[in-house]
Structure 1
Amino acid sequence: MTLPVYRHPDLAGVRAGRDLVVDGDEAHHAVVVRRTRAGERVVLADGAGTSALCTVTAAAKGRLEVRVEECAADPEPLPRVSVVQAVPKGERGELAVSVLTEVGVARVVPWAAERCVATWKGERAAKGRAKWEATARESAKQARRTWFPDVAALASTDDVVALVGETDLALVLHEAEGGVAIDALDLSDVRDVLVVVGPEGGLSDAELDRLTAAGARTVRLGAEVLRTSTAGVAAVAALLSRTPRWGA
């Protein structure tokens, strides 16, 4: 069984033999929820590729003391995959973020698409992003990731169009005839992939036209029509299965 991962915000320059302290919510989860005790081993990760294998030297409520055994710096996994996720209703947004994190995306961009049932405005937008960030952080630790995904601010369609223009390969999931099958895509020499997932009500014609005009390609995932909360993870898994990240 792999060791549990906890986030430590600053591992820069950390070397074997150094003592570190984990406090706050991370320590509470380790000590109270997981019942971590002195002598056990854990992994600390800063979310940007650096990790430290540690032995727990003391555990008390709200505080975990560890001694570093060894450190590692993992390169960022390539291709780097970002997902533009139209904001779903209810808890489906957190579900989408959780499974996208587990499968290995680098960034999740919440999108206020034209036909979104849920709307994020003002304070609700800040709370929605905070929930997605917390979900991504916890899912990254569960998946034993050393690189944690970024959750961007709520994007407009103009923002998404700009992202399409900045990306090596931009894909829009769409069930209509004419979209290319994922297994027909050429992923050689692609470093950045952007996957756009529409809302429950589907993309509007205007949105689809703007995205494809900016350079995005429409892709299909077969005959089935997936929910907005699961379409992204299905697409990303299909893409990564054809890259060195998943042994292709």
Structure 2
Amino acid sequence: MALPRFFCPIPLENNTLITLPKEAAHHAGRSLRLREGTKIALFNGHGGEYQGILYFNEGIAQVQIDCFIEDNRQLCGNITLIQALASGDKMDWIIEKAVELGVNRFIPVAAERSVLQLSGARLEKRQQHWQAIIQSACEQSGRNTLMELLPVQHLKNVFNTTGDTDLFVADPDGELSLTEHLRQHPTMNNIGFFIGPEGGWSQKEVELMSKQGAIKIQFGSRILRTETAGLALSSASAAILGWI
């Protein structure tokens, strides 16, 4: 049975006694109602997990760490999901599932046709909210390194961070099949997917992506929603390239 897992953003070391941060302590004692003596797992996002025994010392939650496990449960390759801002709770859903599927970097884009528009304090609060979703999804899925979340940015700035990533644009009218392309290039190690908003990318944005070398690809004969496309492409790519 899987151990209860907690994100613990403090230095962790084998054979030490540590005090759980407030949020982790509340989750363990109040939400999960774990008893003293329960074995739990901790990770701080820098790789590996630490297992130990939970104790309560005058109401303070502490863990005696007695084991380090190096496994990070990562994909063998790198996937960057470049997602145009979607409305409602869709972004929360996409980010959570991207973590579970093994995406290692997430770039939210303020597209021309994005319904959701963020700025100022609202933008900062949403970034913090998304970061908390990443941490929670890592706890649930067993990942020991956090998916990297970049700040919301305009499309033209994305290419400053993609480096040697092989870039693809999800397009139902694309002439190139993702499946066939990946099978023809089995040694790919860094791939990125541009996923448009509900209204799709503008013609100007499509031209910019094409100019920067992004390849239009299609995946099946059906049109996928923005909250489905990136997850489907990421999952399929990891399977086709043998990264699972």
Same fold per TM (> 0.5)? Answer: yes
Residue 182 of structure 1 corresponds to 179
Among 49, 52, 55, the alignment partner of 1:54 is: 52
Residue 173 of structure 1 corresponds to 170
Residue aligned with 1:56, SS = strand
Q: 1:114 to 1:9 in 2, by over 3 A?
A: same
Residue 8 of structure 1 corresponds to 8
Q: 2 CA distance for matches of 1:234 and 1:160?
A: 22
Q: Is the 8 A contact 1:182 1:221 kept in 2?
A: yes
Letter in 2 for 1:23: P
Residue 34 of structure 1 corresponds to 32
- 5 Å-filtered alignment, 1:65-214, equals 65-74=62-71, 77-164=75-162, 166-185=163-182, 186-214=184-212
RMSD of aligned Cα (Å): 1.9
Q: 1:90-143 deviations in whole A, cap 9, x for unaligned? A: 111101111111111111111001110111122221122112111111111111
Q: How many pairs were matched up?
A: 242
Q: Is the 8 A contact 1:37 1:59 kept in 2?
A: no
**Matched-pair identity in %:** 24
- 5 Å-filtered alignment, 1:217-232, equals 217-232=215-230
Q: 2 CA distance for matches of 1:115 and 1:59?
A: 54
Q: 1:183 to 1:37 in 2, by over 3 A?
A: farther
Gapped runs of 5+ residues in structure 1?
Answer: none
Q: 1:59 to 1:190 in 2, by over 3 A?
A: farther
How high is the TM-score relative to the length of structure 1? 0.90
Gapped runs of 5+ residues in structure 2?
Answer: none
How high is the TM-score relative to the length of structure 2? 0.92
Q: 2 CA distance for matches of 1:237 and 1:183?
A: 15
Q: 1 CA distance for matches of 2:58 and 2:166?
A: 48
